[in-house]
Amino acid sequence: MQIPDGFLQQLRDRADIEQLVSQHVQLRRSGRALMGLCPFHNERTPSFAVYPDTNSFFCFGCGAAGDAISFLMRTERLDYVEAVKLLADRLGLQLPEEHYDDSLSKRRQRILAANREAARFYHAQLGEPQGAAGLEYWRKRGLSGKTIRRFGLGFAPNGFGVLLEHMRGQGFVPEELLEANLARKGEKNGRSYLADNFWNRVIVPILDLRGNVIAFGGRVLDDSKPKYINTADTLAYKKGRDIFALQLAKNTGKEQLILCEGYMDVIALHQAGFENAVACLGTALTKEQAQLLARYAKEVVLCYDADEAGQAATRKALAVLRQTTLRLRVLQLSGGKDPDEIIRAFGAERFRSLLEGAANNLEYRLLAARGSLDLESADGKAIYLKEAVKILAAEAGPLERDIYASRLAEELDVRKDAILAQLRQTAKRDARRDERRYYANLMRPLTEAAQKLDPARAQHMAAAKAEERLLGLLQQNPDFYPKIREMVLAEDFVTPFNRNLAETLFGRLEEGREIDPTMLSGCMGADELGETLRMRHAAEGLQNSLQECLDCAQTLLGEKRLAGRPRVSAGMADEDYLALFAGLRK
Ligand SMILES: [Zn+2]
């Protein structure tokens, strides 16, 4: 990963991190930073800071930190070299070619190329005799030629290595096809062989936001099992990360997304004119997917199957989505099991009216709380009221509280002002609890991240803290380096992570190279960079004096049990400290 410093400096000086982040996060100025809701963890109170002066970002909630390049790596899911290339492209800079190792990126590009070719092949099968069963299947589902083309739907013929043969002819080697999960290894009579991963299935290609084919879904033509199989995790695809059809839905310009259970629903909805329909793929909705949705929409309408499994999935998805700022509604499907069936049986208009009448999150949760309670009985009433107050206190704004308190009062035949009083009390208690949690959470993930990167930290807490302060101070004041070098060497660091970091920073400064976030992003992983920048930010609260560096060095050397640890009085001049430590090191 050797991208020349000179080129990174150009990138750093031209990249506008404020503008880059603004595409994902609404930022507000606050002092020398800009604050917004973190795109990398769920939160309701902004703790994500962007610093235009150092072209860096830092989240006080989850510890995510980095520069423009690492921001692109995280949001666009690129590796380092790809992110550098993308940023350079946007800035109109040409990356010097020979200096970097991009083998991982090349392997991923190869997988994407193989997927693209495979998608073309599967789609073309629909026009061939061996693909007739596939075409018939799609037609039976009521799909038009236009929809089939729009989604690039296809068919994997019934055979052992039909795709393999085609791909070999296109110059792909077996290792690449295995790595793309287009082929799989089998063994028979002690001999291993290679076979297509998908056969005798209709195929749905899965695209990422930039239009790359990252994976495939395959469905059997009948009711045999397994009904669906998907591409396993590869360098280009990770389960639970992407949203099906988001690359299409995001272009509708609508603030609302319809979230379905599977891609078949999405395809049917798009054909019926609901081009803002999307689905998560083969898993329960993950946090990562919820954040992705929140980046492209303001409201999500959940549209899962009407059966028991679908309702359970709805409850789970709501719990994940409630952690975001999204407005939520739930579509209660009646007269059909899933959206596809409703549209086929009753038409698009019926679905549209269902969509308009979709219960908001509050209504849905109240209905669910009410469940099968007997509201005629005093017990049933009391339980429902208690649950309803809890829900409204946690989720409803003042106006909603008033409206639902009136409804509840009428429904349960109790006094509205009593409900409102109860609501105020519960809300106050919740707010106190949330505040405590918020501050506890603010600090915890940071120490957790540090602990994970440096397991030795816990045993050497005093040394680790001194090391972190020293490395933070050094990042804030690289000009301290010649003096720090007199006091302490990288090998004096006690914990391995900090020792490595000291080696990196000292080594660069020794060579006269810079150590700001962009320059460091090339020589460490995203988590390491985050931890490094955490130290840098922590040092902002210090006076940034040489004396502080000296104190840290003393702690460190003390930990190394160097004999004759001197007592240093606070009034000593920097030079005296230096003399003291210079002597101590010998
Ligand atoms: Zn965060």
Residues 6+ apart with CB under 8 A from 121: 154, 163, 166, 167
With beta carbons less than 8 A apart as the criterion, state whether 513 and 577 touch. Answer: no
Ligand 1 center to residue 261 CA distance, Å? Answer: 28
Residue in this structure with the two tokens 């077996």, named with its chain if needed: 174
443 in a domain, yes or no?
no
Q: Which residues of 401-415 are buried (b: 16+ CB within 10 A; e: fewer)?
A: beebbeebbebeebe
Supply the DSSP string of 320-342, one letter for each residue.
HHTTSS-EEEE----SSSSHHHH
Residues 6+ apart with CB under 8 A from 458: 451
Q: Tell how strand 201-207 and strand 213-220 pair up.
A: antiparallel
Ligand 1 center to residue 355 CA distance, Å? Answer: 33
448 in a domain, yes or no?
no
Q: Can you tell me the distance from the alpha carbon of 137 to that of 267, in angstroms, rounded to the nearest whole number?
A: 14
Domain boundary among the residues 204, 236, 268 is at 236
429 and 489 in a single domain? The answer is no
Supply the DSSP string of 253-283, one letter for each residue.
--SEEEEESSHHHHHHHHHTT-TTEEEE-SS
With beta carbons less than 8 A apart as the criterion, state whether 231 and 281 touch. Answer: no
Kindly report the CATH number assigned to the domain that includes residue 210.
3.90.980.10
Q: Can you tell me the distance from the alpha carbon of 296 to that of 291, in angstroms, rounded to the nearest whole number?
A: 9
With beta carbons less than 8 A apart as the criterion, state whether 48 and 57 touch. Answer: yes
By CB atoms closer than 10 A (0-12, 13-18, 19+), residue 181 is: buried
pLDDT tens for the chain, 586 residues long, are 578 888 888 888 888 899 999 988 889 988 778 999 988 887 778 889 998 888 889 988 888 889 999 999 888 878 888 889 899 988 888 877 665 566 777 888 999 999 999 999 999 999 999 999 999 999 999 999 999 999 999 999 998 899 999 999 999 999 999 999 999 998 888 888 899 999 999 999 999 988 899 999 999 999 888 999 999 999 899 888 899 999 999 888 888 999 998 899 999 999 999 999 999 987 789 888 998 898 888 899 999 988 888 888 888 998 889 888 888 898 877 655 788 888 888 888 888 888 888 778 788 888 888 877 888 888 888 899 999 999 898 878 888 888 899 989 998 888 999 999 999 998 888 888 877 776 665 555 556 667 777 777 778 888 888 999 999 999 999 999 999 988 899 988 988 899 999 999 999 999 989 898 888 888 888 788 888 988 888 888 788 899 999 999 988 888 776 434 443 444 444 455 445 444 444 3
80 in a domain, yes or no?
yes
384 in a domain, yes or no?
yes
60 and 39 in a single domain? The answer is yes
Q: How far is CA 411 from CA 332, 367, 372, 407, 486, in A?
A: 21, 13, 15, 6, 78
Ligand 1 center to residue 98 CA distance, Å? Answer: 35
With beta carbons less than 8 A apart as the criterion, state whether 266 and 244 touch. Answer: yes
113 and 223 in a single domain? The answer is yes
Ligand 1 center to residue 503 CA distance, Å? Answer: 28
Ligand 1 center to residue 493 CA distance, Å? Answer: 29
By CB atoms closer than 10 A (0-12, 13-18, 19+), residue 568 is: middle
pLDDT for position 558: 85
Ligand 1 center to residue 445 CA distance, Å? Answer: 9
Ligand 1 center to residue 39 CA distance, Å? Answer: 7
Ligand 1 center to residue 45 CA distance, Å? Answer: 11
By CB atoms closer than 10 A (0-12, 13-18, 19+), residue 457 is: buried
369 and 474 in a single domain? The answer is no
Kindly report the CATH number assigned to the domain that includes residue 518.
1.10.860.10
What is the domain range of residue 9?
Answer: 5-91
169 and 200 in a single domain? The answer is yes
Kindly report the CATH number assigned to the domain that includes residue 290.
3.40.1360.10
Longest dimension (CA), the chain: 91
Ligand 1 center to residue 286 CA distance, Å? Answer: 16
107 and 232 in a single domain? The answer is yes
**pLDDT tens digits for 46-89?**
889 998 888 889 988 888 889 999 999 888 878 888 889 899 98
Q: Can you tell me the distance from the alpha carbon of 169 to that of 315, in angstroms, rounded to the nearest whole number?
A: 48
pLDDT for position 442: 56
Beta bridge partners of 194: 185
Beta bridge partners of 65: 58
- Euclidean distance between the first and the last CA atom of the chain, given in angstroms as a whole number: 38
Residue in this structure with the two tokens 């085609």, named with its chain if needed: 166
Ligand 1 center to residue 62 CA distance, Å? Answer: 4
C-alpha torsion angle, residues 423, 427, 428, 432 (rounded to 10) = 160
322 in a domain, yes or no?
yes
342 and 379 in a single domain? The answer is no
Ligand 1 center to residue 1 CA distance, Å? Answer: 27
Ligand 1 center to residue 64 CA distance, Å? Answer: 6
229 and 244 in a single domain? The answer is no
Domain boundary among the residues 58, 91, 124 is at 91
pTM of the model: 0.64
pLDDT for position 572: 46
pLDDT for position 137: 96
Ligand 1 center to residue 223 CA distance, Å? Answer: 44
Ligand 1 center to residue 67 CA distance, Å? Answer: 14
C-alpha torsion angle, residues 441, 444, 446, 448 (rounded to 10) = -140
DSSP state of 540: G
Q: Tell how strand 183-188 and strand 191-196 pair up.
A: antiparallel
With beta carbons less than 8 A apart as the criterion, state whether 115 and 100 touch. Answer: no
476 and 575 in a single domain? The answer is yes
Ligand 1 center to residue 397 CA distance, Å? Answer: 25
Number of domains in the chain: 5
With beta carbons less than 8 A apart as the criterion, state whether 506 and 439 touch. Answer: no
Ligand 1 center to residue 43 CA distance, Å? Answer: 8
39 in a domain, yes or no?
yes
47 and 130 in a single domain? The answer is no
53 in a domain, yes or no?
yes
Q: How far is CA 126 from CA 148, 159, 267, in A?
A: 10, 15, 17
Closest CA to 169 of 179, 160, 161: 161
Q: Can you tell me the distance from the alpha carbon of 301 to that of 14, in angstroms, rounded to the nearest whole number?
A: 40
Beta-strand runs (E) in 100-226 = 154-156, 183-188, 191-196, 201-207, 213-220
Alpha carbon 131 to its chain centroid, in Å, reads 38
Ligand 1 center to residue 431 CA distance, Å? Answer: 21
Domain boundary among the residues 438, 463, 498 is at 438
By CB atoms closer than 10 A (0-12, 13-18, 19+), residue 11 is: buried
Ligand 1 center to residue 497 CA distance, Å? Answer: 22
570 in a domain, yes or no?
yes
Q: Can you tell me the distance from the alpha carbon of 576 to that of 570, in angstroms, rounded to the nearest whole number?
A: 11
Ligand 1 center to residue 58 CA distance, Å? Answer: 8
Q: Can you tell me the distance from the alpha carbon of 497 to that of 529, in angstroms, rounded to the nearest whole number?
A: 12
Ligand 1 center to residue 298 CA distance, Å? Answer: 20
307 and 399 in a single domain? The answer is no
Q: Can you tell me the distance from the alpha carbon of 170 to that of 172, in angstroms, rounded to the nearest whole number?
A: 6
458 and 558 in a single domain? The answer is yes
Q: How many CB atoms lie within 10 A of CB 462?
A: 12
C-alpha Rg value of the chain to the nearest Å? 29
Give the tokens for residue 501: 């970091």
Q: Can you tell me the distance from the alpha carbon of 226 to that of 293, in angstroms, rounded to the nearest whole number?
A: 29
